[in-house]
Each structure stands twice: as structure tokens, then as C-alpha cells.
């Protein structure tokens, strides 16, 4: 049996595990929990190929627990109940050594499938470890999420990935027989997209293309071999993130033709329609915003519609929304405003809210000046009264700068009329 390099190199212990020191380093929460033997149910959230499944296996091995695995792609409620029954029989109930149930791609589970896990997790029949590439706040039901710790796994750094390549050259039984020289790594790292599994698959493909035992790997060689063997290393759907990136950038770039092409690529590839609709919802606010507020309404309605309708008809709704958003005026002013505001909060800390606009629910608060001199806007002409809303230390700071389009130019004129030179509109 020809076992892929990524599988042959899969770490078995925490010491072999590369990266994620914020979780599994000596001071990391997972390290402490594994060593103490008291492990909560948890969700591992991060991009593909960074070791979520590997970490789940290591946790089971290091904590000496029975390990059961399900994939959300091909498991139903019946499969979940069967594996929970097996898990209950394999370990002592209500002990620190209860079995681990690992669910890969837990974001693909329906609400009813996730509901079927609740009792087992709540009563301690299993310790759940879920792996997801999607934000669990959106994809995991609140009742289950509240019973789990969420740990975010970071993308691999360049050093991490190069360390992985050297480990393959030095420790793999097959590759260590060859004299491999890594002259250049840029294209290997770029083509992997930070995915360790993909990196090792490409690396193995390149090495296998040489007939000699002496191998020198350069950027040109990598590009040539990968272009000749795209289907071989990419046929398992690893283009997923490249396609969604091209899709979003095509809409942002106002090209409905390219956008609908990449939409078709995703639909033909069996992509989850809710995944696509969610990206449209984010884009409608991030890249269009107040240049066309209706975009957010349409994107939200699209998400609701495809959630109800499903395939194959969802393709029509997604196409309508995609072409509408691509053809819409663009602005990232609202997106930039919250980014500036968050950075300002980090830089300045918890500044005092001006007394005039503080809440005054008690007599004491009123007596010490909370709410004094507050001007109720609707009592004034044009429903506006000039007053200071920002803390004293950052007054007059402009955070929202309307974009250069019809709607936001109108906003700019309106704000300038109200605030005169205060915010430099």
C-alpha cells in the first residue's frame, strides 16, 4: 500500500507536533489539560492542513483514552448514536478517562445531527473534539457550543513549513535514502497555501519526478512539475480556498462574468451553498457598504433563501446575488471605520464617556451629573444639536470617511453641513 508522505509523517506525540505552541506549548491550555487528565469537550478551528486531526489523535494517545472518529460528510444521526453507544461501553462513565469522539468537519453537521450529540457531551459519555474550517459561532448550534471550549489554530509560518520539509527529507524512510537539496522553497510554500498536507503531497510529487538519487529542488522545477500534474495533487478539492478567493475578488473587482464563472466552479464541485451565501453576506458589507446599502439586504435574503431551498435551485438565487453585487458601486469605508475604531480603542484604553451622554438610571447618578446638559436631538431643528459624543482625549477624531460614490458623497455633504469643520468632512 502506497501511504502518502503527509500520512507517513503525521506526528504521534506533542513533542513531534509543529506549531500551535499557544495551545500545546508548556504554558498552553491544551498541554496543561492533557497532562492533568481533565479534558473538556472542544472545537478546533483553523484553516485546512494545519493539524486539527493530528492534534485530536495526539490528545487521545497522550491522555490514554479510547478514540472514535466520524466524518460529518458521510455520517448521519444513526451513525452518531451507534458510535456513542460504543464509546459508552468502552470507557468508565463519569470519569476523567471518558472516550474521545472526534468529528471532522463538524460545521457540515445539520442541527438535528448536532442535537444528537448534546446528551452524550452533557452527561460525560464522551469528550467531543470537533474540527472545523468555519467559524463555529455560525456553524455550531449554541447549546453544543456552550458545552465546548473553542481553540483557534494558527496558520503555519514559513519556518514551520520549511521545518516540515527538512523533517521529511531526514526522517521519512523513503526520502531519507535520497540526496535532496532544497535550493529554493518559495514556490513550494506558495503553492501549498500554508496547508502542510498539500505541501508534503507536492514535495513528494516533485521528488518522485526525478530518476536519480541526487535531487536539487528549485522554483522552476516545482512550477513545471505541478503544472504537469495539477489533477494528481489537487483532485481532492484542495482548490477550495483558491476558488472562493477568486470569486470574492472578482465581485470586489466588479466583474460579474468572472464572478459567475467561479460560482459555477463551486456549484459543480458540490460546494455548500450556505458557505457561498455567507461569503456574499460578508462582502456586501465589507466591499459595498454604504455605497449601496440594498446590497446587504439582498445578500441576507439570499442566505435565508438558499438555507430553505437548497440544491439545485439555489444556484439561480446565488447567480442573481453574485451578479448584483459585482455590478454594484463599491466602498470599504464602513469596514475601514470599524478597523480604525478598534485600533483607537486598543491604543487609548477605556476612556471615560462624557457625563452628558451617560445613562442615569438612579437618583445618585443624576445627582452627580450623569446626563446633565444632554441635548435630545429631536427637540432641535433638523433633529440635530451640536454636542460632544467622544471622550475628551479623542474628540474631533474622524473614523468614518465616506467613499467617493453617489450615496456616500451625499452622506459626506450631510455630515459636513451638520458638523461644519469638526470632523473635517
Which of residues 152, 183, 199 is at a domain's end?
Answer: 152
Domain residue limits at 251: 240-326
Q: Grid coordinates in use for 157?
A: 509560518
Averaged pLDDT for residues 101-114: 89
Which residues make Cβ contacts (< 8 Å) with residue 273, sequence separation at least 6? 267, 306, 310, 311, 314, 315, 318
Cis-peptide into 312, omega within 30 deg:
yes
CATH of the domain at 253: 1.20.272.10
Averaged pLDDT for residues 188-208: 87
Question: Do 25 and 147 belong to one domain?
Answer: yes
Averaged pLDDT for residues 403-408: 94
CA–CA separation, 242 and 202 (whole Å): 16
CA proximity to 282, closest of 315, 248, 308:
248
Question: Do 269 and 312 belong to one domain?
Answer: yes
Averaged pLDDT for residues 263-272: 86
What separation in angstroms does the CA of 397 have from each of 347, 374, 377, 414? 14, 20, 21, 18
**Pair 245, 210: CB distance under 8 Å:** no
Which of residues 215, 234, 253 is at a domain's end?
Answer: 234
Q: What are phi and psi of 152, to 5 degrees?
A: -95, 125
385-417: b (≥16 Cβ within 10 Å) or e: eeeeebeeeeeeeebbebbebebbeebbeebee
Question: Do 265 and 377 belong to one domain?
Answer: no
CA–CA separation, 66 and 126 (whole Å): 10
Averaged pLDDT for residues 192-213: 86
Angle, to 10 degrees, between the axis of helix 29-36 and the axis of helix 52-62? 30
Domain assignment present for residue 3? The answer is no
CA–CA separation, 122 and 66 (whole Å): 18
**Pair 413, 423: CB distance under 8 Å:** no
CA–CA separation, 103 and 80 (whole Å): 10
What totals of helices (H) and strands (E) does the chain contain, helices first?
21, 7
Domain assignment present for residue 301? The answer is yes
pLDDT confidence of residue 155: 85
Instruction: Give the percent of the chain with pLDDT over 90.
Output: 47
pLDDT confidence of residue 248: 96
Domain assignment present for residue 376? The answer is yes
**Pair 167, 10: CB distance under 8 Å:** no
CA proximity to 125, closest of 114, 117, 135, 113:
117
Domain assignment present for residue 175? The answer is yes
Report pLDDT digits (tens) over 289-316: 999 999 999 999 999 999 998 888 999 9
pLDDT confidence of residue 193: 78
Question: Do 66 and 147 belong to one domain?
Answer: yes
- The residue among 242 and 337 whose pLDDT is bigger is 337
Averaged pLDDT for residues 86-94: 65
What count of other Cβ atoms lies within 10 Å of the Cβ of residue 327?
Answer: 13
pLDDT confidence of residue 94: 45
Q: Cite the beta strand spans of 56-206 per DSSP E.
A: 67-71, 100-104, 127-132, 149-152, 179-182
- Work out how many domains the chain is built from and give that number: 4
Question: Do 297 and 384 belong to one domain?
Answer: no
Report pLDDT digits (tens) over 215-238: 899 999 888 887 655 433 343 445
pLDDT at 323 over 50: yes
pLDDT confidence of residue 397: 95
Domain assignment present for residue 318? The answer is yes
pLDDT confidence of residue 239: 65
pLDDT confidence of residue 231: 39
CA–CA separation, 168 and 205 (whole Å): 13
Question: Do 141 and 163 belong to one domain?
Answer: no
CATH of the domain at 41: 3.40.50.300
What separation in angstroms does the CA of 232 have from each of 226, 238, 410? 9, 11, 54
* Cα of 258 vs its chain's centroid, Å: 24
Question: Do 260 and 307 belong to one domain?
Answer: yes
Domain assignment present for residue 4? The answer is no
pLDDT confidence of residue 232: 39
For the ranges 11-25, 177-191, 216-230, 296-310, which has the lowest average pLDDT? 216-230
Q: How confident is the model at residue 74 (pLDDT cuts 50, 70, 90)?
A: confident
CATH of the domain at 167: 1.10.8
Question: Do 148 and 163 belong to one domain?
Answer: no
Domain assignment present for residue 6? The answer is no
Give, as one character, the DSSP assignment of residue 368.
T
CA–CA separation, 259 and 96 (whole Å): 51
Strand partners, 129: 42, 102
Question: Do 102 and 132 belong to one domain?
Answer: yes
Q: What is the mean pLDDT of the chain?
A: 88
Question: Do 77 and 162 belong to one domain?
Answer: no
Domain assignment present for residue 11? The answer is no
pLDDT confidence of residue 288: 97
Question: Do 145 and 203 belong to one domain?
Answer: no
CATH of the domain at 353: 1.10.3710.10
Question: Do 168 and 65 belong to one domain?
Answer: no
pLDDT confidence of residue 289: 96
For the ranges 127-131, 188-192, 275-279, 283-287, which has the lowest average pLDDT? 188-192
Q: Is 63 left (phi over 0), alpha (psi -120 to 50) or beta?
A: alpha
Which of residues 284, 306, 326 is at a domain's end?
Answer: 326
Amino acid at each position: 500500500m502506497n501511504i502518502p508522505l503527509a500520512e507517513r509523517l503525521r506526528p504521534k506525540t506533542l513533542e513531534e507536533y509543529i506549531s500551535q505552541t499557544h495551545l500545546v506549548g508548556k504554558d498552553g491550555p491544551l498541554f496543561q489539560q492533557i497532562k492533568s487528565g481533565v479534558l473538556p469537550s472542544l472545537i478546533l478551528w483553523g484553516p485546512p492542513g494545519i493539524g486539527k486531526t493530528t492534534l485530536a489523535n495526539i490528545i487521545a494517545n497522550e491522555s490514554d483514552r479510547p478514540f472514535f472518529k466520524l466524518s460529518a460528510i458521510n455520517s448521519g444521526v444513526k451513525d452518531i448514536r451507534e458510535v456513542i453507544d460504543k464509546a459508552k461501553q468502552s470507557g468508565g462513565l463519569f470519569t476523567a478517562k471518558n472516550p474521545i469522539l472526534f468529528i471532522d468537519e463538524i460545521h457540515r453537521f445539520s442541527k438535528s445531527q448536532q442535537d444528537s450529540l448534546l446528551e452524550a457531551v452533557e452527561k460525560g459519555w464522551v469528550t467531543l473534539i470537533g474540527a472545523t474550517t468555519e467559524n463555529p459561532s455560525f456553524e455550531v448550534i449554541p447549546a453544543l457550543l456552550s458545552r465546548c471550549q473553542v481553540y483557534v489554530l494558527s496558520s503555519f509560518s514559513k519556518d514551520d513549513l520549511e521545518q516540515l520539509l527538512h523533517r521529511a527529507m531526514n526522517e521519512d524512510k523513503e526520502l531519507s535514502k535520497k540526496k535532496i537539496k532544497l535550493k529554493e522553497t518559495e514556490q513550494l510554500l506558495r503553492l501549498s497555501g500554508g496547508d502542510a498536507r498539500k505541501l508534503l503531497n507536492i514535495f513528494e510529487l516533485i521528488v518522485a519526478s526525478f530518476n536519480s538519487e541526487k535531487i536539487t529542488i528549485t522554483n522552476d522545477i516545482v512550477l513545471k512539475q505541478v503544472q504537469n500534474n495539477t489533477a494528481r495533487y489537487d483532485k481532492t478539492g484542495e482548490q477550495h480556498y483558491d476558488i472562493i478567493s477568486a470569486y470574492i475578488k472578482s465581485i470586489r473587482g466588479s466583474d460579474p462574468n468572472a464572478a459567475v464563472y467561479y460560482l459555477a466552479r463551486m456549484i459543480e464541485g458540490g460546494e455548500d451553498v450556505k458557505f457561498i451565501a455567507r461569503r456574499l453576506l460578508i462582502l456586501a458589507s465589507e466591499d459595498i457598504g454604504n455605497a449601496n446599502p440594498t446590497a446587504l439586504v439582498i445578500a441576507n435574503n439570499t442566505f435565508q433563501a438558499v438555507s430553505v431551498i437548497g440544491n439545485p435551485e439555489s444556484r439561480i438565487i446565488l447567480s442573481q446575488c453574485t451578479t448584483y453585487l459585482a455590478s454594484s458601486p463599491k466602498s470599504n469605508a464602513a469596514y475601514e471605520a470599524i478597523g480604525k475604531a478598534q485600533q483607537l480603542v486598543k491604543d487609548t484604553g477605556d476612556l471615560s464617556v462624557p457625563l452628558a451622554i451617560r445613562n442615569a438610571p438612579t437618583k445618585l447618578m443624576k445627582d452627580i451629573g450623569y446626563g446633565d446638559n444632554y441635548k435630545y436631538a429631536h427637540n432641535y431643528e433638523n433633529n440635530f444639536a451640536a454636542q460632544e459624543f467622544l471622550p475628551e482625549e479623542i474628540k474631533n477624531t474622524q473614523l468614518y470617511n465616506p467613499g467617493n460614490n453617489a450615496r456616500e458623497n451625499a452622506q459626506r455633504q450631510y455630515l459636513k453641513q451638520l458638523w461644519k469643520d469638526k470632523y473635517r468632512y
